[in-house]
């Protein structure tokens, strides 16, 4: 009798733990357009660190293809126009900063359209 009860209790505990593990999802980092805009503004103002920039570039933005396109374009700019962060305030050459400024303008238009769609 004790063996049957202990097996039932063990099974119940196992079932509860399994249910909890299946219901709890792994946390996901979902970057928003405003956050991308902020990092671009920080870079353009010379306030971003290379760690801030590299973190942004490192993770694919799966839930928003447009933002991931912006990120990929930033990777391209990074590969050609990034300079040693220890030498100057800005992480990029003048050409790179201009390209990032253009991306920021494009992103600002996207955000405004997104807000207009939410208000309709």
More reliable by pLDDT, 39 or 7 = 39
On whether the CB atoms of residues 58 and 72 are closer than 8 A, the answer is no
- Report the pLDDT averaged over residues 50-68: 92
On whether the CB atoms of residues 64 and 33 are closer than 8 A, the answer is yes
Out of 2-11, 55-64, 66-75, 89-98, the most confident range is 66-75
What's the rounded Cα separation, in Å, for the pair 38 and 57? 14
On whether the CB atoms of residues 107 and 33 are closer than 8 A, the answer is yes
What's the rounded Cα separation, in Å, for the pair 56 and 51? 9
**pLDDT digits 0-9 by tens, 64-95:** 999 999 999 999 999 999 887 666 678 899 99
On whether the CB atoms of residues 110 and 29 are closer than 8 A, the answer is no
Q: What is the mean pLDDT of the chain?
A: 89
């Amino acid at each position: 009798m004790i063996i049957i009860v202990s097996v039932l209790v063990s099974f119940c505990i196992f079932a509860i733990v399994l249910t909890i593990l299946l219901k709890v999802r792994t946390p996901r980092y979902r970057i928003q357009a405003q956050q991308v805009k902020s990092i671009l503004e920080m870079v353009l103002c010379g306030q971003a660190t290379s760690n801030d920039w590299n973190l942004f570039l490192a993770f694919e933005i799966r839930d928003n293809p447009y933002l991931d396109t912006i990120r990929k374009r930033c990777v391209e700019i990074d590969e050609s126009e990034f300079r040693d962060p220890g030498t100057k305030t800005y992480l990029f050459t003048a050409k790179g900063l201009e390209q990032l400024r253009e991306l920021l303008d494009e992103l600002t238009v996207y955000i405004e359209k997104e807000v207009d769609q939410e208000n309709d």
